[in-house]
Structure 1
Amino acid sequence: MNCSWRWRDGVRTKNSMRQPSWSISTMREREKRILRRWEEIEIHKKLAQKTPHGLKYVVHEAPVPIYDITDEIIAARIMRDVYLRYKSMTGFNVICSPEWNVFDHRVEREVLGESGETIRERDGKINIRRFRKACRERAFELIEETTARFKRLGIISDWDVRPSVESKFASRIAEAIGRLYDEGHLSDEVKSLHWCVACQEPVDPKRSSLGTRKSISAYMRLPLLKGLEGFGRRVYLIAFSGEMWIFLGSSAVAARNGRYVAMLCEDGVYVDSISSPWLGELQPKAIKEVTPDELREVTCDHPITGKEMPVVFTDSEEEREEYGFFVISPAHRPRDYFIALEHCLEITSIVDDEGKLNELSGDLCEARFDSVEELIRDELKGRGYLIAEKRRNVPVLLCPCCGEQTIFKPSVQWFFDSYPISLRRLWGVPMFVIYCSRCEGAVLSEEIGRHIRDSLNRRGVDSWFRLDPGEILPEEISCWRCSCREFHKAEGTVTPIFAFAVNQAHMLSKRKDRVNVIDLIIEPSHTIERWLPMLKKLMELLYDDALISPIILPINPPKPERSIPDEFKSGDVGRLSFFIGPSEAREIVESLYGLFWNILEVTKEADEEFDFTGVDPEARSLLIALDILAGEVMSMYESLRIREAIGRLSHFTFDRLGPYLEAAQKEGNSAPLLREISVDLLKLWAPITPFTAEEIWLKINPEDEEGSIFMEMMPLGWMG
């Protein structure tokens, strides 16, 4: 057999190699056989109980999306699976169960779109029971599809665990909400944040990417209401606005520290920075400097809304125009928001959660925020306030879930400490809060949380939507602020990340074995940053407990240089493709199977035991190289350097063992050695290529009906 390999990006690839018949269809059949076997022997249970009374690695998983499973998510699960298979082969018990983001907002949107008629009453209102039932069924369908994809890649988990959507799951959240509110860790506030109109939820800027939005920016003249009376009646500030729709919500005019002048022109007096280009454009008849103290007394009239806007000074370094005044909209620009806090300005939103302008926008009420730019420009131009305009692309955050543009706006949010936890949705765990109908204050406590919990346990989670508050609360409850006894329920749901963190904290608090357990978290870095701190905080507050020294392995899953075809997203080829590319992955799997098939042919008649003392120098060198390889590869698995492990294994397998196998076929006297080396090498390949390793193992051990290579131990070494 001729082994001729060359390096490409650190990984061996094949020029030519003789092998048994191989095709995509035969590979699929082999994978299906192995998957059936793993299900029959319940491999996940065997790995969880591999070593009686031994240490357990318990994996804690952030909720997995059920829509748009990205290559990053798949690669992260493969990396974790490699690590867990490796750990099981070093003697640890491994326990892993999936967590699903059942309450993905796209489930709600899909059901509302496709099942519109079946989930509504005759009057057009949504039947909550039918709606949530349809969402639940659709979510389970998506979970089945995603589970099948992960199974085809050989990812081991307890896939029979049902997603947590039952009443007990929701009742734990109800109880937690009451207790956290009582202890001062839950509050409802109006905060300005980045908001996705499509998903109806706040967006974390750290997880978002930047996009652009086409907008109209403009210079305009703003008539003065107060200040600078000595210049006469027709006095204007020249101010800049970066976006027309945001200008509609302006509440002040900002100026940087510097020199400002009043310019006497034919149609009035214009005030602007001394470095402004309008100083030359307007050709003033006279110029007089204006002091900052004089400008601080100035207020302007908003030319459309009529709002009185004060002038404030700021040292903001935001990339605006380099000179002059600019209008600020604290409700809709992050930097303006902080300027408003500094100067105690009013923060008023002109857009609702659906992206529509509200009643403060006058005639434009109900219009989409991104559809009114030209209308506002025309209005300013028609009234004579527009000086100049230009079209430009303005940066905007994109929602990490749907990719749509976000807006910055104030929103009434419930917060767990600094984490926003409420959403404007119907599908999800309800926000179990009851309000007083008179003073609109929250009527909430640990006791009320327990009453809601008991009600949900008796009647089911959907009962929250159909029951009146009086049927849930104790009879003697009244508002502690105003003594009112009429109540209404909060609308919306809690964020999935909060719901699952509460449930995980509860499950961890009930764990009995705390001595032989190692908590393990292997997730992408950005997932750990937004999920783990909340889980730890809930453990401490709700259960006076904490995760027991968790091992946290942040991973940065590889991004394939090119898209991976669907036919390669299964089996060992699929696993390798995320690290070295699909064509190289196919070559390695094909050659690996061929090499071990050849070794089986050479060693099938060998009955004698391997005698280490009688090996020749070449064989001894091979065994030493295998020992070194085992140490290096296990170190790479431990630190999740998967690509490096593939490179080292490929180098030894095809550059060292391949030529030795070819010589052995000619001489016919190395069968026992080849058998021993192949078994150890197969174990080293097993975590990354489990299908091939399992099939070859079963051919070596056909009598082991309940066995698996993953019930074996990693090589201990020959030269020790």
Structure 2
Amino acid sequence: MADAGDNSPTGRDYRDTVFLPETPFPMRGGLPQKEPLILEQWGDLYATLRKQRQAEGAPLYVLHDGPPYANGDIHIGHALNKTLKDFVVRSRFLLGHDVDYVPGWDCHGLPIEWKIEEQFRARGRRKDEVSKAEFRQACREYAAGWIDVQREQFKRLGITGDWANRYATMDFPTEAAIVAEFHKFKNSGQLYRGSKPVMWSPVERTALADAEIEYHDHVSPTVWVKFPVVAATDDHPDDLLSFRTGTPSVVIWTTTPWTIPANRAISYGPDIAYGLYEVAAMEEGLEFEPWAKPGDRLILADKLAEEVFKAAKIARWTRVGDISPSGLECAHPLAPLSSGYGFSVPLLAGDHVTDDAGTGFVHTAPGHGADDFEVWKAHGHHEVPDTVDPDGAYYPHVPLFAGLKVLETEGKKTGRFGPANPAVIDKLIEAGALLARGRLEHSYPHSWRSKAPVIFRNTPQWFIRMDKPLEDDGTLRERALAAIDSTAFHPAAGKNRIRSMVEGRPDWLISRQRAWGTPLAMYVDKETGQPLHDPEVDARIVAAIAEGGADAWFTRPDADFLGQHDPDRYEKVEDILDVWFDSGCTHAFTLEGRADTRWPADLYLEGSDQHRGWFQSNLLEGCGTRGRAPYEAVLTHGFTLDENGEKMSKSKGNTTDPATVIKESGADILRLWVALVDYAEDQRIGKQILQTTVDAYRKLRNTARYLLGALAGFDEAERLPYDRMPPLEKFILHRLWELDRDVRLAYESYRFQDVIRPVLEFCSNDLSALYFDIRKDSLYCDRPDADRRRAARTVMDEVFLRLTAWLAPLVPFTMEEAWTTRFPDAGTNCARVIPETPGEWRNRAEAERWAGVQTVLEIVNEALEAARRDKRIGGALDAWPVVAGPADAFAPFDGLDAAEVFRTSGAELVAGGDAVTVEVRLADHPKCARSWRRVPDVGSDPDYPDLSARDADAVRWMDAARAAG
């Protein structure tokens, strides 16, 4: 139609009579340039939205922010997480809620502490040469700098929230609030100091909780060690334990030879079958001399004996008979080398022992293993030896090995295993106690921060009891499990995951031996070992920290806090709190005490790893202090992988930097990617995937652009009532009704993929491929007051009003641009709610009719396309198809113009035959110089001999309007 008039017999150019779409909204987004301008126009958008919703009396919705760590630029995981949160915030505003969302930051902890240590080392100062106050101030300034950087990066993503009142775990009032929460546990009796093995990082010199551990493959030395039997009860007849024919040995197997000096017992399984075996012969042709020899007597689990013999190169053996380990006592294998190992080693029954691997016996070092500790205590033993110091080296009192490192903590070898393992193995060989050795690749615990291996080490630490009966007779574990059962999880599988973790978790280890954090600000009675319970002391501590931060605890004299109490009687605890306890308290100081929010939150939203982290620490803190979880619902997302499904890492060079995506394509592209993925699973990103996202974005943008062009000049006087709508318009309005229902439900249940994908399909299929194509002729060529054109523009207005609302949470910049292009004085699109959709638009009959129409239309389109390829026609308007088929196939066309549906100049439907067939005939009529339709009434109006009757009427109307104007 752009060339209308070229072939006009009258010579008139009709192009200026065609109502072509007009809009300043460009086809190319130019998002990297436009988005910052839109951000500037929004100003404090969150404050604007809250003020408006509160004035409307809107219901409150609370999303509590899990704090990112204030250390480094944001990565793609941050972008995914914060964008999902923004979808929640914006969609709840869209649904008519007042939304409370205060972004926050986690500021304490080891990564920042290390950075500051590095900075001081670079200036030639060791950490122990720097005062705690100076060191903590440096940490505080470092974290504050990264908060500023990350905040701007999040804002550039379009994240809306109460940035002006952000929270941070290092703020003075916040640190005071955390201490006050800690005091609640102290004063309720849930807190205790226990000496037990905990996961310890020698590199970081601190205890770690389960949530701070990750597992990596590691190759460990393995040893089979003989513990000679030195005593037995009467239950063991002489023919089994005949010392005259050779002292039998109980054989253990371990992957931690360095713990042998800490051995104090051997555990056995009460239900495991054991036997006494005598070595008959060794394998021949070996390149080395094995440590076993004929005549050796070994006590092993029957199920594992052959495996042990294979490792020890034993070729033949004799099973002497059954044996019960109960009542046996052994010598320590290092006893021949030092009197320091001259104690006896009892055999203890333990349910943790299996015969799945090893020897059926478990070497038991109560200072270096949870099971070891428990079985040792269960048998009435109370002394737990201290073998390894905080640096991972043997204490000076450890015979043979004093000062040797289990793990290297300095220099280039930091994090590698030190000389302890080989030294112990050498001494076992020297003592004649080694039966065999090998190597094993297995999963080994590492610190998730330093990535260095950790060890189990007995240290005095502070714990919160999971199983102590509280005032309601329930325990913290029982409260937490009940809270899990009453929480909604998205996806639902999250409930079982966190439930299994809470069911089996040990007591909550909350103390750390570091400098940068919130202190366990309390005093302990030196005589009783119990924490001081004095509300006035607690109040003074909290007030001082609120005024001067956690530093006040370390710098102010004890008398300032203790009042009338004698400072000499009390020990000041200077450990700091586990950072998970810090962030577990965020609900207390972010949601409580503010008039414009409430506790508990409606939703917590984080990655699935937070089932053992933030979700769980908040759960335990809330249940321990308030009897329930601080949230009603929990939403989890997976991790972001590269396009090949591999974990991202800088060393691999397979990371996707959100800043780069925003710079090259715009934040809306990254946000659209988040909307399109199934966030509940691990998702992928990369250049090809982002290109697919750009293609999807282009569909949305082109739809908005077409609507803006088609709606130029539309006003309320043009609106057509529903009862005068043609069938096609009623079908599109029905689709709007369906989508409105589905979009609302999807947003309410956080299924963002179920918003964007149906809307994209609607834009591509219902609008672009069907509605816009059919109505293009009417929009361009009907006179403006024609009902059909008015109907089309009315429906397009309704489509525009809903698309810009539905998509506002997902691609807010583009929808803002579209909205303000059409309504520059109507305020921000972000403040709108979804327009109410009339129930009368629901029209199942039209939906069924158009399903049938489109079945026939697909067949006709294929035939027209084939005719175009064969050059029998130039375009669809050259065609006059004859469509034959069963009568019921054409029933949906009742009341419709088939040519209008097919976009041809004419069409004929012929009932007959079993299948729909199409004969593409030429439209044998003159061509309208304005609309290019070849129809019989071209030339029927003598004033416009080169136009169809419809086009002549439209041009006459326009000519008259111009003459009057």
Distance, in Å, in 2 between the alignment partners of 1:70 and 1:411 is 36
- Say whether the 8 Å CA contact 2:35–2:813 is kept in structure 1: yes
Q: Residues 545, 45 of structure 1: CA spacing in aligned structure 2 closer, same or farther, 3 A cutoff?
A: farther
- In structure 2, C-alpha distance between the alignment counterparts of 1:298 and 1:291, rounded to whole Å: 14
Task: Find out whether 1:642 has 2:657 as its counterpart.
Answer: no
User: Residue 469 of structure 1 contacts residue 487 of structure 1 at CA under 8 Å; is this kept in 2?
Assistant: no
Residue matched to 1:180: 185
- Are residue 702 (structure 1) and residue 824 (structure 2) matched? yes
Residues 60 and 199 of structure 1: CA distance in aligned 2, closer, same or farther (over 3 Å): farther
> How many Å separate the matches in 2 of 1:291 and 1:220?
19
**Is structure 2 residue 685 aligned with structure 1 residue 602?**
no
- Return the match for 1:270 from 270, 284, 297: 297
| CA distance in structure 2 between the partners assigned to 1:661 and 1:360 by the alignment | 87
Give how far 1:530 is off.
4.5
Which of 747, 772, 796 does residue 661 from structure 1 map onto? 772
Q: Aligned pair 1:690/2:812, yes or no?
A: yes
Question: Residues of 1 paired with 2:754 and 2:323: CA distance?
Answer: 67
* Deviation for aligned residue 1:335: 4.0
The AA in structure 2 aligned to 1:33 is L
Please report how far the alpha carbon of residue 702 of structure 1 lies from its aligned counterpart in structure 2 after TM superposition.
Answer: 0.8
Instruction: Go from structure 1 to structure 2 and tell me whether the alpha carbon gap of 1:344 and 1:209 turns closer, same or farther (over 3 Å shift).
Output: same
Match of 1:477 among 554, 559, 565: 565
Distance in 2, matches of 1:400 and 1:49, equals: 44
The count of residues paired between Structure 1 and Structure 2 equals 688
3-state DSSP of counterpart to 1:116: helix
* Deviation by residue 1:594-623 (Cα, 9 ceiling, x = unmatched): 331232222223344321333221121111
Please give the residue correspondences for 1:370-519 in structure 2 after superposition, counting only pairs within 5 Å.
370-371=417-418, 372-418=420-466, 419-436=508-525, 442-457=531-546, 459-474=548-563, 476-478=564-566, 485-502=568-585, 504-506=587-589, 508-512=591-595, 519=602
Give the stretch that moved more between structures: 566-575 or 227-236: 227-236
Equivalents in 2 of 1:416, 1:263: separation in Å?
A: 50
Which residue number corresponds to residue 632 of structure 2? 551
What one-letter code is carried by the residue in structure 1 that aligns with 2:392? G
- Which residue matches 1:343? 379
Instruction: Give yes or no for contact 2:217–2:443 (8 Å, CA) kept in 1.
Output: yes
Return the alpha-carbon distance in structure 2 between the equivalents of residues 576 and 394 of structure 1: 41
**Among candidates 364, 370, 381, match of residue 328 of structure 1:** 364
Contact 2:353–2:360 at 8 Å: present in 1 too?
no
**What is the Cα deviation at residue 193 of structure 1?**
3.1
CA distance change for structure 1 residues 454 and 558 in 2, over 3 Å: closer, same or farther? closer
1:253 aligns with 2:266: yes
Q: CA deviation at 1:713?
A: 1.3
Rate the CA distance shift 1:202–1:609 in 2: closer, same or farther, 3 A: farther
* More moved, 129-138 vs 594-603: 594-603
> Residue deviations 1:553-579, cap 9 Å, x none?
322346455254542255111112234
User: Shift of the alpha carbon at 1:28?
Assistant: 0.6
Is the 1:111–1:135 contact (alpha carbons within 8 Å) kept by the matching residues of 2?
Answer: yes
Query: Partner of 2:517: helix, strand, or coil?
Result: coil
Judge conservation of contact 1:55–1:517 (CA < 8 Å) in 2.
no
Provide closer, same or farther for how the CA distance between residues 684 and 197 of structure 1 changes in structure 2, counting only shifts above 3 A. farther
Give the 3 Å change call, closer, same or farther, for CA 328–164 of structure 1 in structure 2. Answer: closer
Q: Distance in 2 between matches of 1:552 and 1:48?
A: 26
- State the Cα deviation string for residues 462-510 of structure 1 (Å, max 9, x = none): 2322233234321x213xxxxx835442222112332344453255443
Query: Alignment partner of 2:165: what SS?
Result: coil
Cα distance in 1 between the residues matched to 2:599 and 2:536: 36
- Aligned counterparts, 1:157-306, within 5 A: 157-162=161-166, 163-198=168-203, 202-205=207-210, 208-227=213-232, 230-232=242-244, 234-256=247-269, 257-261=272-276, 263=278, 269-273=296-300, 275=302, 276-277=305-306, 288-289=320-321, 291-292=323-324, 296-303=327-334, 306=341
Superposition TM-score, scaled by structure 2 size: 0.65
Greater alpha carbon shift after TM alignment, 385-394 vs 396-405:
396-405
Q: Which residue of 1 aligns with 2:696?
A: 588
Alignment partners' CA distance in 1, 2:640 and 2:708: 36
Shift in Å, 1:136: 0.8
Residues 252-301 of structure 1, C-alpha deviations (whole Å, 9 max, x = no match):
223343232263887865232374236796588987436326x5232222
Residues 101 and 231 from structure 1, CA distance in 2 versus in 1: closer, same or farther, beyond 3 angstroms? same
Question: Does structure 1 residue 527 correspond to structure 2 residue 610?
Answer: yes
CA apart distance, 1:402: 4.5
CA contact (8 A) 2:26 2:705 kept: yes
Residue identity opposite 1:296 in structure 2: G
Residue number among 282, 286, 311 corresponding to 2:347 in the alignment: 311
1:22 matched residue in structure 2: 28
Most deviating of 686-695 and 439-448: 439-448
1:200 to 1:638, Cα distance in 2 relative to 1, 3 A: farther
What residue number does 1:138 align with? 142
Instruction: Please give the alpha-carbon distance, in whole angstroms, between the structure 1 residues aligned to 2:537 and 2:614.
Output: 27
Partner Cα separation in structure 1 for residue 223 and residue 835 of structure 2: 72
1:674 to 789, 796, 799: 796
The answer on whether the counterparts of 2:179 and 2:521 sit within 8 Å (CA) in structure 1 is yes
**AA of the residue aligned to 2:456:** F
Query: Is contact 1:179-1:445 (8 Å) kept?
Result: no
Which residue identity does 1:646 align to in structure 2? I
Deviation of the 1:318 alpha carbon: 4.6
> Partner letter of residue 240 of structure 1?
W
Check 1:316–1:503 CA distance in 2 against 1; reply closer, same or farther (3 A cut): closer
Secondary structure, counterpart of 2:105 in structure 1: coil
Percent identical among aligned pairs is 19
By how many angstroms is 1:411 displaced?
3.2
Kindly provide the CA deviation profile for residues 135-173 of structure 1, in whole angstroms up to 9, marking residues without a partner as x.
111101111222222222211111122524343333334
1:115-138 per-residue CA deviation (whole Å, 9 max, x = no partner) reads 3376959x9522222211111111
* Equivalence map 1:40-59=2 (5 Å): 40-47=43-50, 49-52=52-55, 53-59=57-63
Q: Secondary structure at the match of 2:440?
A: strand
Comparing 621-630 and 360-369, the one that deviates more? 360-369
Q: Secondary structure at the match of 1:160?
A: helix
8 Å contact kept, 2:178–2:582: yes
Partner amino acid for 2:395? N
- Mapped to 2, the partners of 1:152 and 1:324 lie a distance apart of 60
Q: Which amino acid aligns with 1:714?
A: I
Aligned to 2:395: 358
RMSD of aligned Cα (Å): 3.5
Determine the C-alpha separation between the residues in 2 that align with 1:164 and 1:207: 18
In the aligned structure 1, how far is the partner of 2:760 from the partner of 2:406?
58
Unaligned runs of 5+ in 1: 2-18, 479-483
Displacement, 1:208? Answer: 4.9
CA spacing shift, 1:186–1:224, aligned 2, 3 Å: same
Q: Is the Cα contact below 8 Å between 1:65 and 1:104 reproduced in 2?
A: no
Tell me: CA distance 1:106–1:540, structure 2 relative to 1, closer, same or farther (3 Å): closer
The structure-2 alpha-carbon separation of the partners of 1:175 and 1:634, relative to structure 1 and needing over 3 Å to count, comes to: closer
Q: Which runs of 5+ in 2 are unaligned?
A: 2-24, 233-237, 281-292, 408-416, 467-507, 644-654, 678-688, 780-788, 841-965
Q: Give secondary structure in 2 for the equivalent of 1:409.
A: strand
1:99 matched residue in structure 2 = 104
CA drift of 1:85 comes to 1.0
Contact 1:251 1:328 in 2 (8 A): yes
CA distance in 2, matches of 1:696, 1:330: 69
Distance 1:515 1:458 in 2: 26
3-state SS of 2:366 partner: coil
**How far apart in 2 are the matches of 1:326 and 1:545?**
40
Instruction: Give the conservation status (yes or no) of the 8 Å contact 1:351–1:358.
Output: yes
Measure, in 1, the Cα distance between the counterparts of 2:31 and 2:227.
73
- Call closer, same or farther: CA 1:451–1:302 in 2, change over 3 Å: farther
Q: Deviations over 1:230-264 (max 9, x none)?
A: 51485533332232223343222233432322638
- Quick one: which amino acid aligns to residue 132 of structure 2? I
